[in-house]
Structure 1
Amino acid sequence: MTTIHFYLRFRSTYGQTFFVSGNIPELGNGDPQQPMPIHYLNDDLWHHSIDVADDTPAFTYKYILRNSDGYESIEWPTDRSIDVAKLKSPEIQVIDQWNYAGEFENAFYTQPFTQTLFEYAGEKVKAGSSKGVNHIFKVKAPLLGKDETICLLGSDAALGSWNEADCVVMRKEGNWYTAGLNLSKAQFPIAYKYGVYNTASKQFVRYEDGSNRMLYGMVKKQLVMLHDGFAALPNNTFKGAGVAIPVFSLRSENGLGVGEFTDIPQLADWCKQVGMKLVQLLPLNDTSATGTWTDSYPYAAISAFALHPQYINLEKVAGKKHSALLKGLDEAKARLNAQQDIDYEAVMQLKWQYLKDLYEAQKDSWQNDAAYQEYFAQNKHWLEPYAAFCYLRDKYNTTEFHTWKTHSSYDAKNVAKLLSPKAKSYDAVAIHLFVQWHLHLQLKAAVDYAHAQGLIVKGDIPIGIYRHSCDAWTQPELYNMDAQAGAPPDDFAVKGQNWGFPTYNWQRMQADGFAWWKQRFEQMSLYFDAFRIDHILGFFRIWSIPMDAVEGILGRFVPCLPVHIDEFAQKGIWFDYNRYCQPFINEQLVNEWFGDKAEWVKETFLEDIGWGSFRMKDAFATQRKVEAWFTEHFEVEEWIKLKLYDCISNVILIEEPGSNGTQFHFRIGMEGTSSYQWLNEHVRRQLSELYVNYFFRRQNDFWRQQAMQKLPALKASTNMLICGEDLGMVPDCVPGVMKDLGFLSLEIQRMPKDPTKQFFHPGDAPYLSVVTPSTHDMSTVRGWWEESRETTQRFYNEQLGQWGEAPFYCEPWINRAIITQHVYSPAMWSIFQLQDLLGSSAELRRTDPHAERINVPANPKHYWRYRMHLTLSELQSASTFNTDIHGLLQSSGRCA
C-alpha cells in the first residue's frame, strides 16, 4: 500500500471546512456529493491521508471549500494528478495551494486559449533524469511569451544557490511546469522562487513577484510533490478584440440572400486582417416551426441541438458530381442577393426545393460514409427524435405536437419505426439527417478555418426552449409547460418581455445530473470555443409569466420567497384582497385612459360594481382573452387593446398559487401604477418598504443558493470559456457567483449596473469581462444617438469629455471615439457589432442607421432580417478602414 498525505495551504477563517474529491474510491469516485473531509491543522494548513494500492494509476483530485453559511466554492480546473504506480514511493506528501476558480489565470486554461490562441508553452525543454528524485515542483504560468518557460531558483545548491546562471529550467506537462530534484542533502528550510527563462537565448529573464516561497524539511523515503499554484507573474496582460454578427447577416457576392456557414471563412480572413481574435455569433439552431418569416427569431429553436437549414450552402452539398441539379439557382441567387434584407420565406423555400433533389440523388450512398456513421452514433440521442419531429411537423402542418393525430406523446420505439428503411416515412425522415450532416460538415470546416487563422468562435446559448419544440416533445418533464419565461421591464421594454418559452424544471434536471445541459454543451463544443449564456440571471431565478398573460409585466420571479399576509398586519396595513390583487379601475381612470372611447369601453369590456368602480367582464378578465377578441375584431384600434392590458395589470399584488390567500408577490413597478397612487400616504409608505425588501433584500441568499445548485455542475462539464449576459434587474448575489466561477461578465456603456449612474465607462470594467457599446437587442451607437437628445448631450459632455452642444447625428469621429474607449478598456475582451465599427467610417457607414438594428426586444413579432449593406469582399478591400481598425487594436495591445 501507498500512503498519500494531502496538505492544503489556505488561510482559513472560523466556520470554514474543506473536502477533497477525486476519481478514485478513496476520494469519493469523483462524486461532488461524496467528498472526503480534511482536517484543520492550523489557520494556514489542512490535512488528510489515504492509503491506496501500489499499482493505482494516475488520478485527479480537487478541493471543495464550504463556508459557515453552507456556500461552497469548488476548485477549477481539475488538473492536479498523482500517478502512484509511476512514482513508486511508499509515502507521498502532496503540498497543494488552493486554486480559486475565479482567479484570472484559470480563464487561460479554457478551450480557446489552450487550443487556438496560445500555441507555445515551453515544450522545447527536455525531461531530466528522474533517478533519485524526492521532490517534484509544479507551478502554472499561462501567459508566457514565445520561447519562454519557467525556472526555479533557491537557497540550496540543488536550486542554484540563487545564481541565475544555474537556475533549474522546468518543462511543460499538461497545464504545469514541473521539475524533479533530489534534496536529500539539502539544508532546510529552503527559500525558493520561480522565474522566467528564455529557451532561445538560454538566459534568465526575471523572478516572479512577491516574497520567497518556503519549504520545510522532509521525511526519509517520502516523496514530496508541490503543486504551487500560479507563478506570481502579471495575470491580466492578454487582451483581445472581436466582432459580433449573426451568420444570417453576412453578405457575399455569391450568396443566396442570406449568410451561410461557408461565408464564415471570409469573415475570419477579415478579422485576421484587422487584428481581431474572436467571432461572436447568435444561436444557429433550427427554428423552422411555422414555415413563415416568424421563424426568423433565432432564440425559438425547435431543437437545442439541430442546426438551421438556412445556413447550408447548396453548391457544397451538390459537389461537382451533382452540380447539374442546381439548374436555375444562379438566377434566383442574383434576385435574392440583390435585396437589402433577408426574404426568409423565399430563401427557405428555395433551399428546400434543391435539398430534396440533392437528397434523392444521394440517398443511396451518403449514409455509407464512415465519418457520417461516427457522427450519427455520437448524435443519435437528438438526431433521430429531431428528424421524426420534422417529419411529423410537415405531416400535420404544425409543431404543436399535442394536436398531432399520432405520436403526440413521444415514444422512442414508435419513432424508431419511422426511421426504418422499410417504412413509407423513411425518406421524409432521413432527409433531415442528410441536411444536418451537411450542415455539420460546413460549420465544422468553417470553424476549423477560423482556428487556423488564430481566431476563436463564440456561440450563444438561449436561456429557454421553444414551447412547441422537439426538446419539449421528447422530455416534457424537464420543463414547466404551464408557465411562460420572459424578463421584467427595463428601459428597452417597459412592459417586460414575454418570450413564451416554458420555464425549466430545475429539480428534475438536477435529478439526472443536468444530463440535457451537458449534452447541449458537448454539442456546442464541436463548433465553439466560448459561449454566451443568454440571460444568465435565469439560473438564479426566472421571470415567470402566467399563461393567461400577454405582457411580461404580470410576471414574477420563480423561485422567490413570497410575502406572508401577516407581514402586512405587522406594517399596520389592513389587508384588502380585492383592492390589492384585483385590477383597480374607476370612473376617472377610464375617462383618462380612453377619452372619447370611454363609454364604449365601459359597455363592451367592463362591469360596473358600484361606487364609481369597475371590473373586467369575465369574457375579458385576462390579457389572453382580450387578445383573442381583438384578433377577431381587427378593425378596432390597437391602442385600445394595449390600454385594456394596462387595466388588467393595474394591480399591487399577485397571489402565490396554492397559498389559499396567505402568500403574495409584488407586481413589479408597483409604485408606478395608479392603483398604488390612489392609496393613502401611510399605506403607500408601508407597502414601499415591503416592496424594497421583497425585491432587493430577502431573496439574495436564496437566489445565490439556487444558482450554486446548477452553475458549478454545468461549468464542470465543459472547458469552453463561459460568458454571462448579466443585464437587467441584477440581484446583488450575481457578481459574486460569477466571480467565484470565473465567468466573464458583460459590460455595456449605456446599461450601467450601478443604479446611481446613467452610463458605464469601459475604463472601469473588471478584467474578466466583455465590453461592448451595443448588442443585437439594442440600437447601434448611431441609432441610439438619435433616440434622446438630452441623453446624448449628457453622454457627449460627461463620457466623451467634449464641450458645447453635441452634434445632432452621430458623426464618424464620435463612433470612433466610443470604439477607442472600448479597445483601451482593461477588460479581457472588447467585442463590437460590425455596424458600430462601420459607423466610424464616413465612406462605409450605412445611410440610415435605423436600418442597422437586428432586433427590437419589446416586439415579440420582430422580423430578424438584417444584412450587411456591403459584401465581405468589399469589406476586405476597404484598405483605409481596415488599416485604421488594425492600428487602433495594435496600439491598445489587442492584437500582436
Structure 2
Amino acid sequence: MKLHFTIDYHTHWGERIEVVLRMYLPQGKVNECSIPLDTTDGAQWKGDFVYTHPAALWFEYLYVVRAGEQTVRREWKHAWRRLRADMTREYFLPDSWQAIPPCDHLYSAAFCPQQEHEPAEGPVHDSYYDRSVAFRIHVPQLEEDELPAIIGSIPAIGAWQTDKALPLTKRGQNEWGIALSAEGMLFPFEYKYVIINRHNGQVKRWEEGDNRVTQYKGLERNQTLVYHDGIIRMDYPRKKVAGVVIPLFSIRTEKSWGVGDFGDLMMLTDWAASVDMKAVQLLPIYDTNTTGSWADSYPYNCISVYALHLQYLDMNRLPALADKDKMERFRKRAAELNALPALDYEAVYRLKTDFLKESFRQNGAQVLDTKAFRQYFDENSFWLLPYAAYVYLREVKGTADYRQWGEYACYDAHEVYKLVNGNADAAEQIRLTYYAQFLLYSQMKEAHDYARSKGVLLKGDIPIGVCRAAVDVWMEPHFFNRNGQAGAPPDAFSANGQNWGFPTYNWEAILQDGCRWWTRRLQKMSEFFDAYRIDHVLGFFRIWEIPTHAVHGLLGYFTPALPLTIEEIQNSGLDFRKDAFTRPYIADWVLEPLFGEKTALVKRVFLNALGYDWYEMKPEFATQRQVEAFFGRQKQSEERRRMKEGLYELISNVLFIEDPRQPEHYHPRISAMQSSIFQTLTQREKESFAALYEEFYYHRHNSFWYQTAMQKLPRMIEATPMLACAEDLGMVPECVQWVLNELQILTLEIQSMPKGMDGRFAHLENNPYKSVATIFTHDMPTLRLWWREDADTTRQYYHEILQKDGEPPADIPGWLCEEIIARHLFSPSMLCLISWQDWMSIDDRLRNPDEESERINIPANPRHYWRYRMHLTVEQLMAEHEFNDTVRTLILRSGRANDFLKEHQ
C-alpha cells in the first residue's frame, strides 16, 4: 500500500511538516509513525510512504508542524482523515491544512451531547472501484430534513443539474462522504457541496465561494484519489444560550443538609429548564479539606483534582439508617443547619461525615461488592488509591502537610499500595473513602445525565492551581515548584495583588510528559460537564509567581519571562543602582504617613538606622513572612493590622526584583510608579522607568508568551469534547487574544471591565460571538452592590450606557436590573450566564433584602469564608410564577430559548 501526501502550508524558518499516521490492525493493535514531508519552496510539502506489513484494516492521519523535537501546532482534533486500508492500492491524498474552524463549538458536548465514537470494527468506509475518487466534507448540524450532496461540472456528479446532485452518506461526527468510480471522468473538473431536501432532492442551499477544482489529470487501476475538503463553506447556526451561575454549595432546597448538593443540583436544573435556561455553571466541586475548619471553604484550594467534596453528597438519596431514632436526630440537625442564612462549613462537614460513617457501617460492604463499584474502581484506581492513603495519613498524622508524615513524606507507589491493601489499621478508613467517592461520582454522574435529559448543559470550573499540600503534589512533586506561590498582580479588586498560595507548575516537566497530568484531569472532568471555565487562563501564558517569603503579590514577577539585563536597563536611560533599586527604600518621610504616632515604636522594634533619615529592616523582620509570624495570623486589632500592613508596604518598596533563576536579570516591580521609592527619582529617571515598564509589561513578551501558551492549551482543548471558555480577565497581554482566537476558546466579557478602546465601559453589541457574557463573577460584587459602590461610576454608566437622564437612583430598582440583564441577553455572545443573585435582582419583592450577604468572595482577603447561600429554596422559586414568566419572556425574546440540545440527543 502506497500513500502520496501533498499539502500546501507556509512554514516559518526552522519548521517542517510531518504526517502522524496510525495503522489499525486486527485484535485492536495500532501502529503509529511520523512521516516527514519535503518541500522546495517552504509552501508545498510532499511525501510518500509505503506500508507492507502487517495487513491493516484502516488508517488515519493528521498533519503537524514541528521545529526540532517540539510540536509547534497541530490540525483541528476532528481533522483526522480516516480511510479503509487496501494493501493492493495506491492512495493520492491532496490536502489543505485544517485549522480549528469557527464552528468548532458545534462539535462540543455543549452543542452535540451524543458524541459519536468509532465502532469496534472501525469507522464507516467507502467501497473502492478499480479507479476511485472520494470526497469528504464536514457539515455541522443539519436540519432534520436536510442532507449534504455534491454537484459539479461532469456528468458523474450531475453536470450542474440541481436535480442530479449526489447525496453524501455519514462518515463520522458531522462528517459526510462519497466514493465514485473514476472511469470516464475528465480531469480536472469543478464541483461544489450543496444542501438538499432529503425527501425530494431539491437543492436548498449552495456552498459559498469559488468552485472547488480537482488537481489530478487521471487515475490508473488500483489508485484512489481522496479529497478531504474540511468544513463546508456555509453559515453555521449561531446558537445562543442563557443560563445561571451559582456555587453548588449555595443552592438551597427544603431537604438540603445545610449546603447545596448533587440532588439539589437536579432540582435547580428543573427550575432552569422551566424558564428556558439551557446552562447551569458551577464553581469547583473538588475536595478542599486540609484542616476541617471553615478555612477549607475556599473551593479553588483543592487537595485532589479528581476527588469530589463530601459536602456535596446528597444524604437523602442514601438508604435511611435502620436506627430510626438516630436517623431522626440526623434529619433534625440537617434541618437546623439548612435554616441558617449562610453555610456553617464546619458543622455541615461534621454532620455529613458522621452520617456517612453510619451509612458505611450499614451499607458499605454491600455497595463495595457491586459490579458498578468494581468498574468504577478499575477506571479510577490511578488516583483513588493514593487519595485514600492520603486521607488516612492526614487523619492519623493530624496534618495534611505530607512533609510531616515520616516514612510517607515522599510518595512511594509500592508503599502506598501496601498501606491501602495490607494495613489492617487503615482498612476501614480506606474502604470508607472508596465508598464516599463512589457515591459522589454516581450522584454527580446522575445529575449530569439528568441535566442533559432536560436539555441543560452543565459548565464546570477547573482551578488553575492546587493546594500546596494536595495529594497531586505529594504524588508527582516534579510537576510543581514549591518554592513559589501562584497569584495575580494588582487589579481593581486587590491593590496589593492576590496570593493564592498554590505552588506554581514546572511546565518543562509537564510538557516533557505530554501534558498527561492536565489532559487526564480534563478527561475525568468531562464525565460530569459539557463545558468548562479555564480559571485564570493567563496562567497558561505566564503565572504571577510570588516568593515564599512574601505575603502580598507586589513582590511577584511573571514566569516564564524575559527579565531585563543591567545593560538593557542602562540603555533605557536609567542609571541602574542595585542596592538603591532592589532593597526597600525607608526614610522618615515614608514612615510618618504609614505609622503616624506609632512611627517611633516602629523604628525601635523593626528598623535599624543607617544614617540620617535612612533605615533598613532588622534581619529578623526582613521578609513579609517574618513580619506575619511576629504578629500571628489570628484576628487582630485595627491598630495592629495597620502596622503589619505598613511593614509589608515598606518591604515592597523597591523598583526592581532580581530574577531568582537568572542572577543579574531584573523585573520592574509591579505598580512601582505608585510607590514612594519612585518619587525619589529625577523627572528624567521617572520617564525612563515608565517607558521601560510599559515596554516590559505590555509588549516585550507577546511572541514569547504566545509560544508558551501554544505548547499547552492545544493539548488541553483536544483532550475532551467539552466546550472551553476562558476567564481572561486582569492584566491581559495582546497575545492572549491571538491564542484564544486561534483555538476558538470563548472569552469572558464583562461590561465594567472593557478589553478594547471602548472607554470606561464596554459596549455589549461589540461582544464577539465566541464569548460568555455576564454582569459580574464570584470575585466581584453583585449588580446591586456594584451600583452602590461608586456614585461617579454609577452615574457615568447610567448616562452613557443606559442613556438615562437625571440622577441615578441610590439603590438600583428591579425594573432597571431587568433592563441591564435584557441588554446582556440581546448581546451577540454565544453564552449569557448570569449569577443567580443578579437574576433575582429584577424582582423587588423576591430579591434578598440583605444585599451584602450575597457577596461570594472578596479577592483582597485570602482568608475569606465562602458561605453564601440562596435566601429562597428552589421549591419557593418554582412556585413564583410571575417571576418565572418574566425570566422566560426575557430569554425567549432574546432568541436564547431554542431546544437545540434536545434536538441533537
Q: Normalized against structure 2, the TM-score is what? A: 0.93
Tell me what 1:269 maps to: 270
Cα distance in 2, alignment partners of residues 181 and 766 from structure 1: 41
Cα distance in 2, alignment partners of residues 63 and 147 from structure 1: 34
1:629 maps onto 2:630 in alignment: yes
Tell me what 1:779 maps to: 781
Cα distance in 1, alignment partners of residues 388 and 19 from structure 2: 44
Cα distance in 1, alignment partners of residues 375 and 71 from structure 2: 42
Cα distance in 1, alignment partners of residues 862 and 2 from structure 2: 62
Tell me what 2:836 maps to: 834
1:284 maps onto 2:247 in alignment: no
Cα distance in 2, alignment partners of residues 90 and 404 from structure 1: 63
Cα distance in 2, alignment partners of residues 248 and 699 from structure 1: 39
1:684-703 aligned within 5 A: 684-703=686-705
Are the structure 2 counterparts of residues 310 and 182 from structure 1 closer, same or farther at C-alpha, using a change threshold of 3 Å? same
Tell me what 2:567 maps to: 566
Deviation at 1:151, TM superposition (A): 1.5
Cα distance in 2, alignment partners of residues 512 and 220 from structure 1: 45
SS in 2 for 1:874: helix
Cα distance in 2, alignment partners of residues 128 and 597 from structure 1: 85
Are the structure 2 counterparts of residues 357 and 112 from structure 1 closer, same or farther at C-alpha, using a change threshold of 3 Å? same
SS in 1 for 2:112: helix
Q: Name the aligned partner's letter for residue 540 of structure 2.
A: F
Deviation at 1:295, TM superposition (A): 0.6
Q: Name the aligned partner's letter for residue 427 of structure 2.
A: Y
Bigger shift: residues 232-241 or 776-785: 232-241
Tell me what 1:518 maps to: 519
Is the 8 Å Cα contact of residues 24 and 56 (structure 2) preserved in structure 1? no
SS in 2 for 1:60: strand
Is the 8 Å Cα contact of residues 321 and 327 (structure 2) preserved in structure 1? no
Deviation at 1:683, TM superposition (A): 1.5
Is the 8 Å Cα contact of residues 3 and 50 (structure 1) preserved in structure 2? yes
| 5+ residue gaps, structure 1 | 120-125
Cα distance in 2, alignment partners of residues 258 and 747 from structure 1: 30
Cα distance in 1, alignment partners of residues 566 and 78 from structure 2: 48
Cα distance in 1, alignment partners of residues 842 and 795 from structure 2: 19
Cα distance in 2, alignment partners of residues 852 and 877 from structure 1: 22
Tell me what 2:673 maps to: 671
1:173 maps onto 2:176 in alignment: no
Bigger shift: residues 594-603 or 201-210: 201-210
SS in 2 for 1:206: strand
SS in 2 for 1:810: coil
Deviation at 1:632, TM superposition (A): 8.2
Q: Name the aligned partner's letter for residue 108 of structure 1.
A: L
Cα distance in 2, alignment partners of residues 220 and 365 from structure 1: 66
Deviation at 1:128, TM superposition (A): 9.4
Cα distance in 2, alignment partners of residues 128 and 690 from structure 1: 61
Cα distance in 2, alignment partners of residues 676 and 791 from structure 1: 29
Deviation at 1:437, TM superposition (A): 0.6
Is the 8 Å Cα contact of residues 40 and 47 (structure 1) preserved in structure 2? no
Cα distance in 2, alignment partners of residues 848 and 363 from structure 1: 43
Structure 1, residues 532-589: CA drift from partner, whole Å, max 9, x if none? Answer: 1111111111111111111111111111111111223334433322211111111112
Deviation at 1:12, TM superposition (A): 7.6
Structure 1, residues 193-229: CA drift from partner, whole Å, max 9, x if none? Answer: 2111222565321212222222243222221211111
Deviation at 1:180, TM superposition (A): 2.2
1:385-404 aligned within 5 A: 385-404=386-405
Tell me what 2:716 maps to: 714
Is the 8 Å Cα contact of residues 283 and 299 (structure 1) preserved in structure 2? yes
Structure 1, residues 459-500: CA drift from partner, whole Å, max 9, x if none? Answer: 111111101111122222211111111000000111100001
SS in 2 for 1:20: strand
Tell me what 1:657 maps to: 660
Tell me what 2:73 maps to: 73
Tell me what 2:245 maps to: 244
Deviation at 1:878, TM superposition (A): 2.2
Of residues 98, 104, 107, the one that matches 1:106 is 104
Cα distance in 1, alignment partners of residues 718 and 155 from structure 2: 42
1:39-438 aligned within 5 A: 39=39, 45-53=44-52, 55-65=55-65, 72-85=72-85, 90-101=89-100, 103-116=101-114, 134-175=132-173, 176-200=175-199, 202-216=201-215, 217-221=217-221, 222-235=223-236, 237-318=238-319, 326-420=327-421, 423-438=424-439
Are the structure 2 counterparts of residues 723 and 404 from structure 1 closer, same or farther at C-alpha, using a change threshold of 3 Å? same
Cα distance in 2, alignment partners of residues 480 and 259 from structure 1: 34
Are the structure 2 counterparts of residues 511 and 127 from structure 1 closer, same or farther at C-alpha, using a change threshold of 3 Å? closer
Is the 8 Å Cα contact of residues 89 and 223 (structure 1) preserved in structure 2? no
Cα distance in 2, alignment partners of residues 149 and 377 from structure 1: 42
Are the structure 2 counterparts of residues 407 and 46 from structure 1 closer, same or farther at C-alpha, using a change threshold of 3 Å? closer
SS in 2 for 1:185: coil
Tell me what 2:612 maps to: 611
Bigger shift: residues 354-363 or 211-220: 211-220
Q: Name the aligned partner's letter for residue 108 of structure 2.
A: T
Are the structure 2 counterparts of residues 870 and 378 from structure 1 closer, same or farther at C-alpha, using a change threshold of 3 Å? same
How large is the RMSD of aligned CA atoms in angstroms?
Answer: 2.6
Deviation at 1:16, TM superposition (A): 7.2
Sequence identity, in percent? 38
Is the 8 Å Cα contact of residues 606 and 614 (structure 1) preserved in structure 2? yes
1:725-804 aligned within 5 A: 725-754=727-756, 757-804=759-806
Q: Normalized against structure 1, the TM-score is what? A: 0.93
Tell me what 1:872 maps to: 874
Cα distance in 2, alignment partners of residues 447 and 483 from structure 1: 37
1:525-604 aligned within 5 A: 525-604=526-605
SS in 1 for 2:503: strand
Cα distance in 2, alignment partners of residues 63 and 355 from structure 1: 51
Is the 8 Å Cα contact of residues 139 and 228 (structure 1) preserved in structure 2? yes
Deviation at 1:251, TM superposition (A): 0.7
Bigger shift: residues 158-167 or 460-469: 158-167
Is the 8 Å Cα contact of residues 210 and 232 (structure 1) preserved in structure 2? yes
Q: Name the aligned partner's letter for residue 138 of structure 2.
A: K
Deviation at 1:64, TM superposition (A): 2.4
Of residues 841, 846, 849, the one that matches 2:848 is 846
SS in 1 for 2:158: helix
Structure 1, residues 384-421: CA drift from partner, whole Å, max 9, x if none? Answer: 11111111111122111212344222222222232236
